[in-house]
């Protein structure tokens, strides 16, 4: 019976996927908008691996909401590598013993091959003259952001505003909480996700400012036209990381550890870094960052580790049930 | 003149009729017609060549293909189950009959997302059979078998639901006559039952097929979203849209809409044939209409 089912499954799979002829197959489970990055990166790695290891690799991509993706991996999606946009999500897999406990040390730069920054998208000509976080908390301004409790976008916005308030003269956690509360009260709604927030702002025309990733601004330009909005860099904002990890349990089972590790390592190569830059993600390579300087104006950033003592701690303090977000929101 | 008065007495005033008609048609236009047109307008926003290019993409093609494969894969199971269940319920009395009817309706009541999660709980690596399946290297969740199972769960009531009232209204006289004239069980089924229910069955097949191709929630949970492998059309539309690829998303959506339109036409033809057949029967057997 098992045999029968197995053969049905195999027949169906091969029907759909076509026979895999590669020496190894890797599945990369990734976040929503990473497709362009890996669409260009995968052929580059295939070429590199063929030339250096003499093997052909088949590369498959799975994209979805970052948290949904790691849940799927925990439930048995056989991804060899995960490339996410939130450290929490990879930490979740570490707790389930699917990735190494010290995953952040397995690769350089906190295992994040490229970064982005949280920026403001404002209407053309910046009619409300929004320059910094303080302007977003001013009365009468409408801020569009996804839900801070369960989206990376929303959390980054929340923490950016918090860090900015903390670094102001006389700043304290209590003052920061008050400031973030003011800013959140300017949100007419919380969008369900990054894309949803963009639609709310660009298509429905709601709000004065949208807070999102710098890299996302270029995607918005692609769909809605460059002339329809402006990007504003606040005086201090979060450097967002895009951590990657090998899924130990899967590569051990499939025997793909070597290929999976090389696949991620190659993200730090010149080619990999340049590809990130071309997709509007800030490369770690200083030379390339300079070369693509037109995309990446200098901006003062902080990392979650510096200000909040790590993504896990930030999450526990601010977004767990009863955290500062809940306190602010109940107070509202 | 007298005829006119009579009609007037049995009809609502003209303004009521026209208001109702306008409201009804207006609603249809704004909530069904306009979005349908919008799908094609958006898909063709940058011209036909770019639209065709978007459809030619291998991931979109594989999504179309997978959608059809899944719809075809669930069909035999749905027919078998639907006919068997409807037959048992319509032609026999047994204990637990009402329980069976309730169970058949279960997928209508359960949210598709929950249905998908049920399969994760059963076959996911942390689920009841997860370890056993992993040891045998059988992939159900995040692979095509899981998607077929989820679609099956969502679509299995359609055929039974369509056939039960039909078979109940037909009664079992003809089958009893066939048996008493010496037909075997199979002969009775092929020559009496099946011809009687064929249009109803086809109608159910079309409905369940439409649902199978359009299903999002349950399939999304168990798919794993592997491009070119476990993405059906509805899932592919969402992903393309989230990636700011509006043309690709609407092009894929237009294919879904076309499939839906084909279904609609097929459904209308079947409905029309069904009605023609009953009218004919009623005309032939004027005295036996009551059952």
pLDDT score at B235: 94
From residue A208, alpha-carbon distances to A155, A162, A238 in Å are 20, 20, 21
DSSP one-letter string for B67-100: HHHHHHHHHHHHHHHHHHHHHHHHH---TTHHHH
Of the candidates B141, B144, B228, the beta carbon closest to that of A76 is on: B141
Q: How many helices (H) and strands (E) does chain B have?
A: 16, 0
For residue A12, which residues of chain B lie inside 8 Å, CB to CB?
Answer: 69, 73, 144-145, 148
Q: Distance (Å, rounded) from C-alpha A46 to C-alpha A263?
A: 9
For residue A64, which residues of chain B lie inside 8 Å, CB to CB?
Answer: 225, 239
**Is residue B287 over pLDDT 70?**
no
Task: Spell out which chain A residues touch chain B, with contact meaning CB-CB distance below 8 angstroms.
Answer: 2, 5-6, 8-9, 12-13, 15-17, 27, 32-33, 35-36, 60-64, 69, 72, 74-78, 193, 195, 219-220, 222-223
Of A12-26, A297-311, B38-52, the range with the lowest mean pLDDT is A12-26
Q: Are strands A244-246 and A190-191 parallel, antiparallel or unpaired?
A: unpaired
- Taking only the tens place, the pLDDT of each residue in A93-144 is 999 999 999 999 999 999 999 999 999 999 999 999 999 999 999 999 999 9
pLDDT score at A68: 85
**Is residue B177 over pLDDT 80?**
yes
The stretches of chain A forming alpha helices (DSSP H) are 2-17, 35-53, 66-74, 87-95, 108-111, 133-136, 152-166, 173-185, 194-198, 214-224, 248-254, 257-265, 270-278, 286-291, 304-308, 311-318, 324-331
Test B139 with A74 for CB contact under 8 angstroms. Answer: no
Of B263 and A108, the structure prediction assigns the larger pLDDT to: A108
Q: Distance (Å, rounded) from C-alpha A87 to C-alpha A99?
A: 12
- Taking only the tens place, the pLDDT of each residue in A234-274 is 999 999 999 999 999 999 999 999 999 999 999 999 999 99
**Is residue A1 over pLDDT 70?**
no
**Is residue B161 over pLDDT 70?**
yes
B87 min Cα distance to partner chain A (Å) = 28
Q: Distance (Å, rounded) from C-alpha A275 to C-alpha A278?
A: 5
Mean pLDDT, rounded, for B171-177: 89
End-to-end CA distance of chain A: 59
**Is residue B291 over pLDDT 60?**
no
Distant-in-sequence, close-in-space partners of B24: CB < 8 Å, separation ≥ 6: none
Of the candidates B120, B124, B138, the beta carbon closest to that of A2 is on: B138
Check CB contact of B97 with chain A, cutoff 8 Å: no
For residue A61, which residues of chain B lie inside 8 Å, CB to CB?
Answer: 226-227
Test A195 with B134 for CB contact under 8 angstroms. Answer: no
Of A19 and B192, the structure prediction assigns the larger pLDDT to: B192
Contact assessment for residue A31 and residue A64, using Cβ atoms and an 8 Å cutoff: yes
Percentage above 90 pLDDT, chain A:
75
Contact assessment for residue B209 and residue B158, using Cβ atoms and an 8 Å cutoff: no
In terms of CA atoms, which chain A residue is nearest residue B235? A64
Q: Distance (Å, rounded) from C-alpha A184 to C-alpha A149?
A: 12
Note the residue count of chain B.
291
For residue B66, which residues of chain A lie inside 8 Å, CB to CB?
Answer: 16
pTM more than 0.95: no
- Taking only the tens place, the pLDDT of each residue in B15-59 is 888 999 999 999 999 988 898 899 999 899 888 999 999 999 899
pLDDT score at B63: 95
Q: Are strands A81-83 and A114-123 parallel, antiparallel or unpaired?
A: unpaired
pLDDT score at B1: 46
In terms of CA atoms, which chain A residue is nearest residue B131? A76
- Taking only the tens place, the pLDDT of each residue in A154-176 is 999 999 999 999 999 999 999 99
**Is residue B277 over pLDDT 90?**
no
**Is residue B76 over pLDDT 90?**
yes
Q: Does ipTM top 0.85? A: no
pLDDT score at B285: 65
**Is residue A92 over pLDDT 60?**
yes
Q: Distance (Å, rounded) from C-alpha A324 to C-alpha A318?
A: 5
**Is residue A312 over pLDDT 50?**
yes
Region class of A225: left (phi > 0), else alpha (psi between -120 and 50), else beta: left
> Is residue B6 very low, low, confident or very high in pLDDT (cuts 50, 70, 90)?
low
Of the candidates A32, A72, A78, the beta carbon closest to that of B243 is on: A32
Question: In this structure, how many other beta carbons lie within 10 angstroms of the beta carbon of residue A269?
Answer: 15
Test A12 with B62 for CB contact under 8 angstroms. Answer: no
């Amino acid at each position: 019976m098992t045999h029968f089912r197995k053969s049905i499954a195999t027949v169906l799979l091969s029907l759909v996927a076509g026979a895999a002829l590669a020496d190894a197959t890797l599945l990369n489970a990734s976040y929503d908008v990473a497709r362009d990055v890996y669409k260009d990166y995968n052929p580059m790695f295939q070429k590199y691996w063929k030339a250096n290891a003499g093997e052909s690799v088949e590369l498959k991509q799975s994209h979805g909401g970052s948290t949904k993706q790691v849940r799927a991996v925990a439930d048995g999606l056989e991804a060899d590598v995960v490339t996410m946009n939130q450290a929490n999500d990879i930490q979740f897999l570490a707790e389930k013993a699917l990735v190494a406990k010290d995953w952040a040390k397995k690769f350089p730069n906190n295992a994040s091959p490229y970064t982005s920054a949280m920026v403001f998208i404002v209407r053309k000509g910046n009619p409300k003259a929004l320059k910094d976080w303080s302007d977003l908390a001013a009365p009468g301004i409408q801020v569009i952001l996804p839900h801070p409790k369960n989206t990376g976008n929303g959390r980054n916005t929340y923490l950016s505003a918090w860090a900015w308030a903390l670094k102001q003269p006389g700043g304290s956690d209590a003052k920061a909480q008050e400031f973030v509360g003011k800013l959140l009260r300017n949100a007419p709604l919380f969008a369900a996700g990054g894309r949803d927030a963009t639609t709310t702002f660009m298509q429905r025309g709601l709000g004065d400012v949208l807070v999102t990733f710098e890299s996302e601004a270029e995607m918005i330009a692609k769909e809605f036209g460059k002339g329809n909005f402006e990007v504003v860099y606040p005086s201090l904002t979060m450097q967002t990381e895009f951590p990657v990890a090998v899924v130990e349990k899967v590569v051990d089972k499939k025997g793909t550890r070597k290929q999976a590790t090389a696949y991620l390592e190659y993200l730090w190569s010149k080619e990999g870094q340049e590809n990130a830059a071309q997709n509007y993600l800030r490369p770690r390579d200083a030379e390339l960052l300079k070369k693509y300087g037109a995309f990446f104006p200098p901006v003062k950033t902080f990392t979650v580790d510096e200000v909040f003592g790590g993504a896990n701690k930030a999450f526990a303090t601010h977004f767990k049930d009863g955290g500062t977000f809940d306190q602010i929101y109940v107070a509202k | 003149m007298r005829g006119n008065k009579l009609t007037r007495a049995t009809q609502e005033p003209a303004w009521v009729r026209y208001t109702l008609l306008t409201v009804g048609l207006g609603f249809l236009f704004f909530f069904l017609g306009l979005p349908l047109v919008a799908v094609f307008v958006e898909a063709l926003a940058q011209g036909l060549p770019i639209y065709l290019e978007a459809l030619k993409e291998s991931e979109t093609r594989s999504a179309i293909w997978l959608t059809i494969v899944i719809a075809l894969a669930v069909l035999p199971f749905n027919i078998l189950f639907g006919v068997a269940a409807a037959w048992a319920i319509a032609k026999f009395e047994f204990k637990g009959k009402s329980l069976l009817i309730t169970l058949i309706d279960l997928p209508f009541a359960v949210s598709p997302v929950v249905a998908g999660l049920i399969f994760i709980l059963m076959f996911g690596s942390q689920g009841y059979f997860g370890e056993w399946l992993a040891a045998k290297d059988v992939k159900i969740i995040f692979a095509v078998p899981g998607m077929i199972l989820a679609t099956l769960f969502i679509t299995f009531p359609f055929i039974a639901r369509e056939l039960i009232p039909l078979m109940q209204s037909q009664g079992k006289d003809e089958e009893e006559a066939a048996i008493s004239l010496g037909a075997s069980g199979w002969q009775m089924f092929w020559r009496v039952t099946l011809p009687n229910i064929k249009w109803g069955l086809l109608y159910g097949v079309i409905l369940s097929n439409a649902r199978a191709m359009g299903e999002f929630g349950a399939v999304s949970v168990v798919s794993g979203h592997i491009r070119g492998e476990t993405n059906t059309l509805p899932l592919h539309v969402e992903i393309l849209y989230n990636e700011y690829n509006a043309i690709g998303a609407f092009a894929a959506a237009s294919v879904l809409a076309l499939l839906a339109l084909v279904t609609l036409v097929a459904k209308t033809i079947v409905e029309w044939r069904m009605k023609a057949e009953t009218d004919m029967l009623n005309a032939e057997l004027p005295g036996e209409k009551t059952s």
